[in-house]
């Protein structure tokens, strides 16, 4: 793990620690009609909930905490404000543009808040707009989303 980068990436919505969601994700996506707004919303919320409610494995949570502490120590503060940014493999390629569809968060402070926002970034792989676009573009295969954590720059200095 490099400082400022949190792993693992979530693959197709599931990564290490999220394997239990694998079957549920496949089943929900299999019959999804993205042209039915209510069904799209319900499936999106259900899949995002699988990720946000899932327990982060202890070793991953520890790695997040250690990286965050190192980042905070560089600034001699107890808890640094950070940006939590998503980065998906299909984002803004020559063929597709997912600009603005995946979640990112600014001014996140504290380890618990950081873990919560990382999970929210992972879950954004299943946002309603993302699902709609993926399915309409025929992108039903595995996709990856990673999270990058960067310290915020204090603009007052």
Within 8 A by CB and 6+ apart from 38, the residues are none
- 66 belongs to a structural domain: yes
Question: Over the stretch 65-81, which tens digit does the pLDDT of each residue have?
Answer: 988 888 887 766 667 88
- 37 belongs to a structural domain: yes
Q: What is the mean pLDDT of residues 113-142?
A: 89
User: Can you give the residue range of the structural domain that contains 132?
Assistant: 5-151
Predicted local confidence at residue 6, as pLDDT = 43
Predicted local confidence at residue 3, as pLDDT = 39
Q: Output the average pLDDT for the chain.
A: 80
Domain count, the chain: 1
* Start-to-end C-alpha separation, the chain: 30
Res 13 pLDDT > 70: no
Res 106 pLDDT > 80: yes
- 111 belongs to a structural domain: yes
Predicted local confidence at residue 144, as pLDDT = 78
- 156 belongs to a structural domain: no
CATH number at residue 20: 3.30.1490.20
- 157 belongs to a structural domain: no
């Amino acid at each position: 793990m490099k400082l400022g980068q949190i792993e693992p990436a979530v693959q197709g919505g599931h990564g290490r620690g999220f394997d239990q969601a694998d079957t549920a994700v496949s089943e929900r996506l299999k019959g999804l009609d993205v042209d039915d707004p209510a069904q799209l919303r319900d499936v999106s919320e259900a899949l995002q909930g699988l990720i946000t409610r899932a327990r982060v494995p202890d070793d991953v949570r520890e790695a997040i905490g250690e990286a965050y502490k190192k980042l905070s120590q560089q600034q001699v503060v107890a808890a640094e404000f950070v940006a939590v940014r998503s980065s998906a493999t299909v984002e803004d390629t020559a063929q597709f543009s997912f600009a603005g569809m995946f979640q990112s968060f600014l001014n996140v402070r504290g380890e618990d808040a950081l873990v919560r926002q990382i999970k929210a970034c992972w879950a954004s792989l299943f946002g309603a707009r993302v699902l709609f676009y993926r399915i309409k573009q025929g992108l039903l295969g595995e996709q990856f989303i990673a999270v990058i954590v960067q310290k915020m720059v204090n603009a007052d200095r």
